[in-house]
Amino acid sequence: MPMDLEQRVREIEQRNRRVEADKAWEKSLVRTGTITVATYVIATCVLIVIGNSDAFRNALIPSLGYFLSIQSLPFLRVKWIKSYMAARLDGKGTSTINSAIPGDTIENIYPDDWQETRGVYSPAKKIDLGSVYLIFVSGQQVGKNADNEAATDDIAEQTELVFQALEKTLAAADASLDDVVKAQIFLTDMADFRKVSIIRDKWFAKSKPVSTLVEVKAMTRKGAKVEIEVTAVIKK
């Protein structure tokens, strides 16, 4: 994954944690204010009942009003906090905490036939950015045979199978290759470029993504000659 995209994912994760912490603090503030107000109300009612003089009651009631006004501040502060957080998160201050980041979540995507492999990673990540989803798909190589080597040695067949795997992973995220905005292609032999390019152009005919193609020394799977990773964007 490109460094700028990795940085974006980390920023979203940090922002999610900050919002959850702020929500928890807000709830605690409201709960504390509610308990305190209830305590003053009960204590005042008891004192009013047992008090025998009008002077006592006349002195106590203003005090109750004072305490209630002071203890009502947490509720007022909650409203202010929401406006402040909205301004801090989206720079506009026009929405509450709940809508300032409308569902910023990161979901791991797994195709139905996905099998665990060595290493800790996800086939794809689907990130809720509010009005759109940003989808990162891990690099795909041709499938393996019984000997854990590339299922075919033909570069055209490998490329076609890689695109089919990408399409399957994107489908699990409710997207397709028509939604791809960026593609990165890795070849072990730049001489295969033309063969790969013909197949690439067929699959990307509609999306026309920005692209990078580089030659590498080898792939993680023996016999694999091409690996492709993509980034897609879909509307909600």
Domain boundary among 69, 100, 131: 100
Shared domain for 9 and 93, answered yes or no, is yes
Mean pLDDT of the 87-103 span: 43
Distances in Å between the Cα of 229 and the Cα atoms of 163, 192, 208, 235 are 10, 18, 15, 20
Buried residues in 71-82 as b, exposed as e (16+ CB within 10 A):
beebeeebeebb
- pLDDT score, position 99: 40
Number of domains in the chain: 2
How big is the chain by its Cα radius of gyration, in Å?
A: 30
Q: Say which range, 11-25, 149-163, 208-222, has the weakest mean pLDDT.
A: 11-25
Between 147 and 205, the more confident residue is: 205
Same domain for 75 and 125, yes or no, is no
Phi and psi for 110 in degrees, rounded to 5? Answer: -130, 120
User: What would the mean pLDDT of 204-226 be, rounded to a whole number?
Assistant: 96
Would you state the structure tokens that stand for residue 90, as one six-digit string? 């989206």
Cα–chain center distance at 88: 18
Which residue, chain included where needed, has tokens 């795909």? Answer: 140
Residues belonging to the chain: 236
Say whether both 158 and 206 belong to one domain: yes
* Chosen domain end from 56, 84, 100: 100
Domain enclosing residue 185, as ranges: 106-235
How far apart CA 55 and CA 183 sit, in angstroms, is 82
Is there a single domain that holds both residue 84 and residue 122? no
pTM equals 0.57
Nearest in space to 163 (alpha carbons), one of 202, 119, 194, 206? 202
Considering only 100-104, 117-121, 168-172, 177-181, which range has the smallest mean pLDDT? 100-104
Q: Which of 108-122, 135-149, 156-170 has the lowest mean pLDDT?
A: 108-122
Instruction: Indicate the SS3 state at residue 36.
Output: helix
Is pLDDT above 80 for 186?
yes
